[in-house]
A and B are shown apart, each in its own frame.
Chain A
Amino acid sequence: MSSIKLRAVVALSGLALVCAAQVARSEAAVPKKAAAPAKKAAPESKSAIAAEFEKFRDIMEDASPAELFEAKGAELWKQKRGPKNASLEKCDLGLGPGVLKGAYVRLPRYFADADQVMDAERRIVYCMVTLQGFKESDLAKQPFSKGSHVPDPVSLVTFVAGQSRGMKIAAPQKHPREREAYKVGEEIFDYRAGPWDFSCATCHGDEGLRIRTQDLPDLSTKKGAIAAFQGWPGYRMTGGLMHTLQWRLNDCFRQQRFPEPAYVSQTLSDLMTYLAVNANGQVYKGPGIKR
């Protein structure tokens, strides 16, 4: 037990050093598989693993790797970048240009300029395209962290999410398009298809289920839906990579044996609207750590 703890701390403090150095040089990179703590040695029974993970999270509370990506994202936000050599400081995340505090917990929402309901990552990509002149098709080429590559939107979403730490989730349902997004998201959540007849609800529609030893939150309930936000964006110990909800939902569609949803597409915004509204009222603790 203590050796697992020790290894975890060593692995992560090593990572923290490397990351800090990289943030200082403002390169979005982390070492490949920096931390895969005690994966093999972990006991198999669920309670033991859960207990170990909880301890691990406690240790890391002070020096969460997610904070390093927040710092990286903060820099990227201010820097003049892209073909238009502009910063993101005028990006409107729903509360007015440049207002970041509390914006993340009030997304997804309807944006008149884009005439779309958008989640945080979709909106940030929209700003990168409209303000900085990046191409969405370029950003969609490798949108997820892989090896030592951490895409800029991942750091940016982590930064923006950090500005809502400790606030209540309050995804709006005032605009008719927001209510429509919720309803369509609910239908997507329940839609069984593909060779294995799976929907999101197959794995996330009942309380207390597990796949192997992994707990599956019931995302159709208020109590369960918070799991879709708590700790996301998250530093995933399996593989040692920083990921956003875009990645999580993409990988769940893979497990569902579906084809692939486009990056920052309406399908994902609608699903996130469904999840966020279900989680409304609960306190978001900020970006974190995932097993």
Chain B
Amino acid sequence: MKILQASIVGAAALAVAYAAQAQDYRSQAISVMKRDFHAKGIATMDRLDEDTLQQICNRSDNNPPKGLAESLQHDQLQGIKYPADGKFLGDWKSGEKIAQRGRGMTWNDKQGKTSRNEPNGGSCYNCHQIDTKTTSFGTIGNSLAHFGKTRGYGPDIQKYVYGKIYNAKAFNLCSKMPRFGHSETLTEDQIKDLVALLLDPNSPVNK
């Protein structure tokens, strides 16, 4: 709680400091967008509001001072809900489907579901190489091929991967990777299935 308060104060101070430079055009940009956009389907207007993290990343060119980044990361880490049963590994076959699916959360989709009534996808392959048999993969993120084989299969790495998918910003404040649990894009079971995709020794990712 103390840390949370401290970082909010820090954040506010930083926001003020950066505001001095970019205030005019930035706040102009925000008011132009708020005037020009309209809600469409599930994509409501509040999506244009920055949360504290987005604000700090936006105002520091994605590179906030180290101390502030650490305390904000700590806040993000506090918000991760780990599975109550203490188990991280789900079903890698289902995880593969979630990783392949790029739909969900756009104005074409439904609340909690894609336009085709499927559960939201994680669009992991949009950014990462994962199973090397899939050659259509993006490069915004690093390769996750042979992830367990190279990083190990133990409970610590399982917990890390669960947390990383739940909230990537808890480990790297201005990461390009979305916060899939925090944003309620993926459910606990879906995240477990993705952990299994990367860390089940039987997953093709580790073959």
Q: Is the interface of A mostly helix, strand, loop or mixed?
A: mixed
Number of interface residues of A (CB under 8 A): 40
How does the 8 Å CB contact mask read for A30-48 relative to B, with 1 for contact and 0 for none? 0000000000000011000
25 sampled A-B residue pairs with Cβ under 8 A: A183-B25, A184-B29, A188-B33, A190-B58, A191-B29, A191-B30, A192-B58, A202-B176, A209-B138, A210-B138, A211-B126, A211-B138, A212-B137, A212-B138, A213-B136, A254-B106, A254-B107, A258-B37, A259-B38, A259-B45, A260-B37, A260-B107, A261-B37, A265-B36, A266-B35
Tell me which residues from 166 to 222 in chain A have a Cβ below 8 Å from any Cβ of chain B: 180, 183-184, 186-188, 190-199, 202-203, 208-213, 216
Distance between A62 CB and nearest chain B CB, rounded to angstroms:
31
Identify 4 new A-B residue pairs, CB closer than 8 A, beyond the known A44-B135, A194-B47.
A197-B179, A203-B140, A211-B138, A260-B39
Complex partner residue of B25 from A186, A192, A262, CB under 8 angstroms: A186
Distance between A191 CB and nearest chain B CB, rounded to angstroms:
6
Q: Which residues of B contact A187 (CB under 8 A)?
A: 22, 25-26, 28-30
Q: Which residues of A contact B126 (CB under 8 A)?
A: 211-212
Complex partner residue of B36 from A190, A197, A198, A267, CB under 8 angstroms: A267
Q: Which residues of B contact A257 (CB under 8 A)?
A: 43, 47, 105-106
Distance between B37 CB and nearest chain A CB, rounded to angstroms:
5
Interface: A255 (CB within 8 A): yes
Q: Which of B12-20, B48-56, B146-154 contacts A (4 or more CB under 8 A)?
A: B48-56
Interface: A70 (CB within 8 A): no
For this complex, into which size category does the number of interface residues on chain B fall? Answer: 35 or more
Interface: B185 (CB within 8 A): yes
Contact check, B136 vs A44: say whether CB atoms are below 8 A apart. Answer: yes
Interface: A67 (CB within 8 A): no
Interface: A152 (CB within 8 A): no
Q: Which residues of B contact A210 (CB under 8 A)?
A: 138-140
Q: Which residues of B contact A208 (CB under 8 A)?
A: 139
| Chain A, residue nearest B43 (CB) | A259
* Bound complex: CA A245 to CA B25 (Å): 23
* Bound complex: CA A255 to CA B107 (Å): 9
Distance between B169 CB and nearest chain A CB, rounded to angstroms:
8
* Bound complex: CA A211 to CA B183 (Å): 21
| Chain B, residue nearest A266 (CB) | B32
Distance between B168 CB and nearest chain A CB, rounded to angstroms:
9
Q: Which residues of B contact A119 (CB under 8 A)?
A: none
Interface: B92 (CB within 8 A): no
* Bound complex: CA A149 to CA B191 (Å): 42
Among B29, B30, B44, B184, find the residue whose CB has the most chain A CB atoms closer than 10 A: B29
